[in-house]
Structure formats: C-alpha cells, structure tokens
Structure 1
Amino acid sequence: MKRPLGVSLISYFYLFGAVVLLFTAVFYNADADSTGIAERFGLPNVPERLMRVLVALISLLMVYGYIRLKKWGFWLMIIYSVLFGLISSLLVSNQSQQPFIGNLIWSIIVLTYTIYIKRAFFKTDFQH
C-alpha cells in the first residue's frame, strides 16, 4: 500500500517542528517566551531546554513510526494529538492572547485525518 500524501505532509511538518525545538533548545532565551513548554505541561520546575529536547526527541520517534506506517506510529500520533489538543484547549481558555487556537485546530485536523486513514497503519499483508 502506498503512503497517503497527508501522512507525508504531517510527518514533514512535525519533523520541521522537532528541528526547530532542538535549535531553540540550544539558543533558548528564557525572557523571549512567557509560557514555555514545561509550564504548558504543568511542570514549571523542569528546565525549559530539557523539556524542548525531550519533546523534540519524542516527535522524531513519532514521525519515524508515522511516516513508516507503523501501528505504534499511529498510536503515538493519536496520543500526541490528543495531549497537545487538550493542552492547547486549556491554554486557549486561560490565556489573554489566543495563539493556541491554531494548535488546537491543527491537533483536531491531524487526529481526524489519522483516524480516517487508519487502515494504512493496520494493513495485514500475508505473504506466504
């Protein structure tokens, strides 16, 4: 089965995001962002650089499994989309600015699309 175009596009988007996170972890400026990733996860005592590296590494692992159409890649993307969708929805309701609504919409789109094409991840090729 050929990889769906949406899987490739989503994977490249998350790959780009992981690279940006790794880059910003190296050149992190604590004064530049009032709400860091660690704080968004409810972990204000975790160093922001460490949190960015961890999220980037998890993203890279997820992208590898997702673009290769692995079952575990499907489940990681589902979990990741739900988790970040929930965090974004909480931030939309708690922040005076609304930059997180785009993240919420993106999470819903990725979740919906991934569920829609789940057959690509759960194909059974019996080769005897």
Structure 2
Amino acid sequence: MSRTRPLGITLIGSFYVFGSIVLLLSLFVMELSFEKYGIAARFGWPSVPEHLARFLVGAASLVLGYGYLKLKRWGYWLMVAYSIYFVIVSGYLFVLYKEQPFLGNIIWSLIVMVYSYCKRNHFYIKPQQVRAGG
C-alpha cells in the first residue's frame, strides 16, 4: 500500500491549518467583537482571556493540522482527541444555549472523527512501505 494522502485528509488538515493561521492573524489584525461567542467560550474556557485562547487554539490547530497532513500517527491521535474534546464541549454548550455555532461544531467534529477512523490505515504505514513517487 502506498502512502498517498486521501483528498479528505488533505481538506480536513488544510482547513485546520488555514483556520489556525486566520486565528493567529486575528490577534494582530482584527478585533472580532461582533462575535457572540468567542473562541474561549466555544472551547469551554470562559475564564481564559480571549487573546490567550486564540493563541492556544491557533497554535494547537497548526500543529495538529501539520501532523494530520503529514500522515503522522501523532497527528491522527491529536486530531481524534481534539475532535472528541470539541464534540463534548460543543454538545454541552448546545444543551445550554440551543444555538449556533455549537451544533455546527458538533457535526464537523463527528465528520472529522468518522472520516479519520475510516482512513486510519493511512497513518499506520511503516516508513519502508512508502513508495517513492507514489
């Protein structure tokens, strides 16, 4: 089996990398005061300052997106752990508030978990099984 990256993994990993870059840039470029729920609230950290939450989530997303795109085992497990945490927190917040963005976060996290599970074999190929140019 070659170690080619499926399109879905490329899309998911790219979304996380792009999102992390936008989040990190938002620390310097934009003031997103129009959001009803900031990043800190969406991640269940109401007492964490918004800028710190943006930095932590942006940095974590960049690392896990990179590992996921590079088909690293740790990237797979970080993505799964991140998605499980996010679906639990979003589920709890959806029960409390009954509104977006929490339902969308639940659906996205479930899609990522199910797809990642279905493609898990791409993360477990030994280096000697990788074909050059394939």
The question of a shared fold, defined as TM-score above 0.5 by the shorter chain, is answered with yes
Alignment match of 1:122 (pick from 106, 121, 124): 124
* 1:64-83 equivalent positions in 2, closer than 5 A: 64-83=66-85
Aligned residue type for 2:84: V
- Alignment length, in residue pairs? 126
List structure 1 segments (4+ residues) > 4 angstroms apart after TM superposition. Answer: none
RMSD: 1.7
For normalisation by structure 2, the TM-score amounts to 0.84
Q: Which runs of 5+ in 1 are unaligned?
A: none
Alignment match of 1:13 (pick from 12, 15, 19): 15
Aligned residue type for 1:28: E
8 Å Cα contact 2:17/2:66 also seen in 1: no
Distance 2:59 2:84 in 1: 18
Q: Cα distance 1:42–1:104, how it changes in 2: closer, same or farther (>3 A)?
A: closer
Alignment match of 1:109 (pick from 101, 107, 111): 111
Question: Percent identity of the aligned residues?
Answer: 45
Question: Which stretch has the larger CA shift, 42-51 or 5-14?
Answer: 42-51
Q: Which runs of 5+ in 2 are unaligned?
A: 130-134
Distance 1:46 1:18 in 2: 18
8 Å Cα contact 1:28/1:49 also seen in 2: no
